Amino acid sequence: MSLPAPARRRGVERAAWGLILPFCLLFLVFTAWPVIQSLFMSVTDTRNRDLRTPFAVEFVGLENYVQAFTDPLFRTAAANTAYFVVVGVPLTLVIALAAAVVLDKGISRFRAFFRLGFYTPVITSIVAVAVVWRFLLQDEYGLINTVLGWFGITGPNWLGDPDWSMPALILMAAWRNFGTAMIIFLAGLQAVPASLHEAASIDGAGAFSRFRHITLPLLRPTILFVSVTTAIGYLQFFEEPYVMTNGGPLNSTISASMYTYRQFGFGNYGYASAMSYLIFVVIAVVTALQFRLLRERS
């Protein structure tokens, strides 16, 4: 060492702070401060006219939160979001797991080719695919109803019928997102020792039985992880209804994020902040649940 130890340590300390300084400044201004400010705003009556005087607003306690829980449209939005998550996450995961299992064990050639094809929708802009899917889901001349027609099925007016609008958005979300889950499942499946499968085969276990009793239990942590990350994404869904349905028909697809954005657009900043914090709390609970379950497993 060219320098005595204490001087060296001081140098390291200075260098470390130099390295983290840009991150700390940007993080404080653009993440930490807004998170705190959002909580503050949510207990005030801040509106867009208060923009230039953020501290001249009235403290209203939990009024915005009470308003959210009694606002029929927010309740609809929350219920729609729950629908999207509760149906969308399992659907996405089942498709992803089926694709991963087939790619992992079922085929020996073109594996990378299929993997690439299935993953492609993930990298594309939701706005762009939502625009395209609006065409595909058209009642009269949409591609999806045309294909259904080949099998003698009269497809519904997907985006125009309040009963079918949410299933249509969920279908599109599953199509766009299952690739991520599939890739993570593939990595998880490769960690399942082949010797276990061979031993079970010798004992006469069929493919389904091996999947049920070997693959699934070993894949549990991966499934848990993927369901939580997918749920966190789905809890914030916004682009799909914004582009495809504008929340309709009859508010059947308005989401919590979209309603928050709408209230922000009306200038109700305090109210919008309260709703965004409610979304945040749900996401935080889901995340905490994941850590807890993972710890119990390991």
Partner 1 sequence: MTAKNRWWIYVPLTVALVAVVSPFAWMVLGSFKGEGEIRRNPPTWVPEAPSLDNYTQLFSRLQFGTYFLNSAVVAVLVTAGNLLFCSMVGYALAKLEFRGKRTLFVIVMATLMIPGVVTFVPLYVLVVNAGLANSLPALILPFLVSPFGVFLMRQFIVGLPGELLDAGRVDGAGELRIFARIVLPLCGPALATLGILTFLGSWNNFLWPLVVAQQESEYTLPVALALYSTGQNSIQYGLLLAGATIVVVPVLLVFLVFQRRFIEGIATTGIK
Q: Which residues inside 142-201 make contact with partner 1, applying CB under 8 A? A: 142-143, 146, 175, 177, 180, 183-184, 186-187
**What is the nearest approach in angstroms of partner 1 to the Cβ of residue 26?**
5
Q: Which of 229, 249, 293, 294 binds partner 1 (CB under 8 A)?
A: 229
Residue pair 255/81 in contact (Cβ under 8 Å)? The answer is yes
**What is the nearest approach in angstroms of partner 1 to the Cβ of residue 147?**
9
Residue closer to partner 1 (CB basis): 166 or 272: 272
Site string for partner 1, 38-77 (x = CB under 8 A): x--x---------xx-x-----------------------
d(CA 245, CA 263): 18
Q: Which of 158, 164, 234, 242 binds partner 1 (CB under 8 A)?
A: 242
Q: Write down the H helix ranges in 102-215.
A: 111-119, 126-136, 143-150, 165-190, 194-202, 207-210
Residue closer to partner 1 (CB basis): 36 or 66: 36
91 binds partner 1 (CB under 8 A): no
The maximal CA–CA distance of the chain, rounded, in angstroms, is 84
* Type of residue at 121: P
**What is the nearest approach in angstroms of partner 1 to the Cβ of residue 231?**
11
Residue 27 sits at the vertex; the CA angle it makes with 26 and 29, to the nearest 5 degrees, is 65
Q: Which of 70, 108, 195, 298 binds partner 1 (CB under 8 A)?
A: 108
Report the b/e string of 123-134 with b at 16+ CB within 10 A. eeebeebbeebb
Q: Which of 7, 66, 127, 250 binds partner 1 (CB under 8 A)?
A: 127
Q: Which residue has the tokens 């089926």?
A: 98
Region from 30-38, 67-75, 157-165, 211-219 binding partner 1, contact rule CB under 8 A: 30-38
- How many residues bind partner 1 (CB under 8 A)? The answer is 99
Residue closer to partner 1 (CB basis): 2 or 195: 2
Q: Residue 59 has what DSSP assignment? A: B
How many CA atoms, within 13 angstroms, populate the side-chain half-sphere of residue 117? Answer: 7
For residue 95 the two structure tokens come to 């498709």
d(CA 187, CA 168): 30
| Secondary structure of residue 35 in the 3-state scheme | helix
**What is the nearest approach in angstroms of partner 1 to the Cβ of residue 127?**
4
Q: Which residue has the tokens 């997907």?
A: 158
260 binds partner 1 (CB under 8 A): yes
20 binds partner 1 (CB under 8 A): yes
